[in-house]
Structure 1
């Protein structure tokens, strides 16, 4: 999983033992471990079309977009109800950006909503309220930052529930810098966004 370090980006070789977790329309998610500390992390890899991978200018632009995320307050954000973004890496071999985040052992709220038997304790009104309050706290934290972060594509799949305590953790915020690669370049030509504020996310940077 080696790669060449670009400026302040983390070397992708700092993460090892990748295993596939899931795939969405715009990205793939893996579980891995920090090579030195063995701490588990999740790696979100935005899908980049082949023609962009082969274009040196676009690859350079891709790296610059990653630096914006790396240097933004997204990396500084931390709290009980959000999933921390730990670092950003560039894998030179695959021409991929890796968003390295803390790993949350559990499942997402959408999965639980579709199959309540996975977590019967959340069926009680008290537990539903506890989760709702936790989600509100996560949003309040992001909106209360000096430069507020707005999650432009908030949905149940973006809420992770920890395995033991079922604490809600908000994820997938702060990816606006990848909009060109994450959305525009990966959609068919006949697909048009009706809402300019649609996915993935929006950040008002420093």
Structure 2
């Protein structure tokens, strides 16, 4: 069978047509006029009018738009049906996101969070002078700086507002993640006992967080001072209640937040000894209602880590309860979480103190010497009981932070009534609260 497409026969004697040349001069003008006239004649004689043609095009466009919308709706419906058939159900809301997806969220600064230039923070801290250092840890250093509250520019100490400026000292994937994690949580948290985030700096290699300034510094510095008499028993109870309120707030969020680094050095005090919880670099979302725990690499500070988290990596809100128990023990004993003995060996304060907490006769051995003779032993026993419950080896036996908070508030109320009884004013107090 031959080819279906054949070339036309070619006669070599037949003259070949020459290619048309563009008209020039007067011929070009005449040609243009003739084309215009012929076009107008064709339009007036056979084609639709311009107005009817325009109307026809608009109708076509509307029809095409309706078809496109119907196509999109049907396409969306098909996608939804496919999701339901696979068991996906309704679209996932942020509150129900799994932990793996929450971790991948990119941090977006809040509208009321200031983005500072590095030059402004450098000037505010007197070029990050050593004289301005107010704290130091594994993350880097914290400086006191002064900012004009109106222009948010650097200011002098006598005219500006004091702020705390935390500079990330080390760089790497993990440290950058902690920096971003802290900003992600602090921009959404709002509680009187959670430190206030004022701004940040993300310029070139600089990672900086700007907080409100807490003039009395961290709790651990007061506990370790041998001659510090300001941290009396009633103030320690007040601090314990403030921290408990902060942690209870975190655990009561729509998606519970686990701090994971709850310790005395992360508790800051203002002029009235009101505490604020800081450093959310290790914080993460807790398990959902249908989960018993979230799995995580063990991270935190030695001496504060719950035993089940250390051995299994299972993270729950009860992990924070254990760490809070260690902070209560620090308030009670005036010792650090990892206690050094005379033979230079180290041991956890919680392990060392547990036998003494459960014995009324042994209790005085672990109470801070600065308050041991100014404390009612019945109150001390109640406080020790709360510590023991928080430090239970089995997380199921630990109370919730709401229960811990209620116990501490009841203890504070009992202490107030006891003091009023001493003054003979308890009956007036009871009448005022009936």
Equivalent residue runs for 1:16-165 within 5 Å:
16-18=123-125, 19-35=132-148, 36-37=151-152, 38-49=160-171, 62=176, 69-70=182-183, 72-92=184-204, 95-115=205-225, 117-118=227-228, 120-124=229-233, 126-163=234-271, 165=272
> What's the TM-score, normalizing by structure 2?
0.33
Q: Which has the higher contact order (CA 8 A, sep 6+)?
A: 1
> What's the TM-score, normalizing by structure 1?
0.65
Does 2:288 match 1:166? no
1:149 and 1:98 map into 2 onto residues whose CA distance is 23
1:95-131 Cα deviation digits (max 9, x unpaired): 120011111111211111112532x24322x332221
Cα distance, 1:40 vs structure 2: 2.1
User: SS at 1:112's partner residue?
Assistant: helix
Q: Quick one: structure 1 residues 65 and 171, their matched pair in 2 at CA, closer, same or farther if it must change by over 3 Å?
A: closer
Cα distance, 1:73 vs structure 2: 4.1
Cα distance, 1:76 vs structure 2: 2.8
Partner of 1:181: none
In structure 1, list runs of 5 or more residues that go unmatched. Answer: 1-6, 53-57, 178-194
1:8-53 Cα deviation digits (max 9, x unpaired): 654334433213223223311111123524332111122225xx6x
* Contact 1:160–1:169 (CA under 8 A) maintained in structure 2: yes
Q: Quick one: structure 1 residues 139 and 68, their matched pair in 2 at CA, closer, same or farther if it must change by over 3 Å?
A: closer
Partner of 1:180: none
Cα distance, 1:85 vs structure 2: 1.8
* Contact 1:27–1:45 (CA under 8 A) maintained in structure 2: yes
1:160-196 Cα deviation digits (max 9, x unpaired): 1213x111111112x149xxxxxxxxxxxxxxxxx82
Cα distance, 1:199 vs structure 2: 2.6
Cα distance, 1:81 vs structure 2: 1.0
Cα distance, 1:66 vs structure 2: 5.4
Cα distance, 1:156 vs structure 2: 0.7
* Contact 2:182–2:279 (CA under 8 A) maintained in structure 1: no
1:68 and 1:114 map into 2 onto residues whose CA distance is 30
1:130 and 1:17 map into 2 onto residues whose CA distance is 33
In structure 2, list runs of 5 or more residues that go unmatched. Answer: 1-107, 110-114, 126-131, 153-159, 284-295, 302-314, 316-434
Q: Quick one: structure 1 residues 159 and 145, their matched pair in 2 at CA, closer, same or farther if it must change by over 3 Å?
A: same
Q: Quick one: structure 1 residues 146 and 88, their matched pair in 2 at CA, closer, same or farther if it must change by over 3 Å?
A: farther
* Contact 1:43–1:100 (CA under 8 A) maintained in structure 2: yes
For the pair shown, the structure with the greater C-alpha radius of gyration is 2
May I ask how many residue pairs the two structures share in their alignment? 161
Q: RMSD of the alignment, in Å?
A: 3.0
* Contact 1:43–1:101 (CA under 8 A) maintained in structure 2: yes
